[in-house]
Amino acid sequence: MREELIVSGRMNPMIDPQLHIWEWHIPAYLFLGGLAAGIMFFAGYFTIKGKEEQYPTATKLAPIFVPVLLVLGLLFLFLDLKHKLYFWRLYTAIKLESPMSWGAWTLMLVTPLSMVWAALNIKTLFPKWDWKFKVIDDALDIIKTYKTPMAWAMVILAVILGIYTGILLSAFNARPLWNTSILGPLFLTSGLSTGAAAVIVLSKSKKERHVFAKIDLLLIAIELFLIVHMFMGFRASTQVQIDAAAMFLGGQFTAPFWVLVVGFGLMIPATLEILELRNKKIPYMVAPVLVLVGGFAFRFIIAYAGQMSRWLY
């Protein structure tokens, strides 16, 4: 037997009795950021492919919500900071080795871009919208001619936005549960999946819903594949990662993760979507709402469980 204790006593904030640096703000932002990335990716992709008329929700309506999601997410990130008055320091340095720095600057680019895209398409949601200043109408007319480069920027920045949060967590090799290179792609896939689900929820076109159901089905399959391999990776790794995975394979997170995230968030929506594509009568809202709830639960569980995994004592 081996026992290690901090015999001088230590109860420091943020690290004792276990790491607790991040509360609900961070999983909430991870979800909103992933959702925004997913919506922006499809908006940009289908615009480049010239399918704006066939998929109006994906390319015009859903992106209107992205600035709201991003601003809300940024607000939550700001609220999480413990030294709030200095938040602007994020923008006085570009640290290429810090994923958090990449995120801060990516959001700095993505947020205005998403606002411009939403402004271009605002009449889809509010048909009687009037900018009231002719200069705005003129500016938007000019910007509209750059739609394709903007769509390319949206696609690229959406991928960075969707993947960097996973890379950020996976770079903390001190937290064994997060320290897997699968986490970045898994977060990106989950973000794209929630984006596709949001399009299905908002869409009034049966054809668009079917196409996005197929896309979502593919993304769910990829997510399941990544999740299984992530746990196989942990089981084949060092003792700290075996211990971290044990929280999900018999430990306290077993039921919440496999039932809520994998069962309700992935497998049930996938089954419903397969049945729907075989023309069985299923109310179309159920699957995407489950995907969205599952996506949120996934980020919550990973954020909290990761803080419980450790190397020491």
Partner 1 sequence: MRYAMAVDTKKCVGCSDCVVACQTENDVPIGYCRDWVVEVTDGTYPQLELEYRSERCNHCDNSPCVRCCPTGASHYGDGGIVKVEKHKCIGCGACVASCPYDARYGHPEGYVDKCTFCDHRVKQGQDPACVAVCPTKCMYFGDLDDPNSDVSQVVKKRKYKTLIPEAGTKPQLYFLI
CB of 13 to partner 1, least distance (A): 4
| From 63-71, 74-82, 139-147, 263-271, span contacting partner 1 (CB under 8 A) | 74-82
* Member of 79, 81, 228, 259 binding partner 1 (CB under 8 A): 81
Span 15-44, contacts to partner 1 by CB under 8 A: 15-16, 19, 21-22
As a whole number of angstroms, the distance between CA 282 and CA 39 comes to 24
As a whole number of angstroms, the distance between CA 47 and CA 74 comes to 26
Q: Return the closest-CA partner of residue 271 out of 222, 205, 203, 220.
A: 220
Single-letter amino acid, residue 17: P
As a whole number of angstroms, the distance between CA 190 and CA 36 comes to 11
Tell me: does residue 9 bind partner 1 (CB under 8 A).
yes
How many chain residues interact with partner 1 (CB under 8 A)? Answer: 51
Residue written as token pair 């969205």: 292
Span 194-253, contacts to partner 1 by CB under 8 A: 238
Question: What x-and-dash track marks residues 140-179 binding partner 1 by CB under 8 A?
Answer: ----------------------------x--xxxxx----
Look at residue 117 and give its three-state secondary structure.
helix
| From 29-37, 208-216, 228-236, 303-311, span contacting partner 1 (CB under 8 A) | 303-311
Single-letter amino acid, residue 121: N
Distance of CA 12 to the CA centre of its chain: 31
Q: Return the closest-CA partner of residue 41 out of 57, 27, 54, 58.
A: 58
Binding site for partner 1 (CB under 8 A): 1-16, 19, 21-22, 80-87, 89-90, 92-93, 95, 97-101, 103-104, 168, 171-175, 238, 307, 310-313
